[in-house]
Amino acid sequence: MGRDEHHVVPNADGGWDVKRNGADRSSGHFDTKQEAVDSGRRISQNQGTEFVIHNKDGKISQSDSHGNDPYPPKG
């Protein structure tokens, strides 16, 4: 099993969705990417998941870790 993640992804019918990996339904649908990012980040922080933001072409634009990162940076 992979890590738990929430993704902000473009919706084929327009707008943006927040989806948890492995889930059939989205956690929320939004008109703008910024609304989806704001909501998705809150959900991800509350549930301790990775948070992955995609561009309109589906490629990953950025990700944030809100859970227990198995590979923390060495410092």
Closest to 6 measured CA to CA, from 39, 31, 55:
39
In a domain, 19, yes or no: yes
Kindly state whether residue 71 falls inside one of the protein's structural domains.
no
Q: What is the pTM of this model?
A: 0.82
37 is a domain residue: yes
pLDDT digits (tens, 9 = 90+) for 34-63: 999 999 999 999 999 999 999 999 999 999
DSSP 2: -
The distance of Cα 18 from the centroid of its chain, to the nearest Å, equals: 6
Domain assignment present for residue 36? The answer is yes
More confident residue, 50 or 68: 50
Domain-located, residue 33: yes
Band of pLDDT at residue 21, cut at 50, 70 and 90:
very high
- Residue 73 belongs to some domain of the structure: no
> What is the helix, strand, coil percentage profile of the chain, to 5?
20, 35, 45
**Would you say residue 30 lies in a domain?**
yes
For residues 58 and 45, give the distance between their C-alpha atoms in angstroms, rounded to a whole number: 22
Number of folded domains that form the chain: 1
**What domain range includes position 17?**
5-61
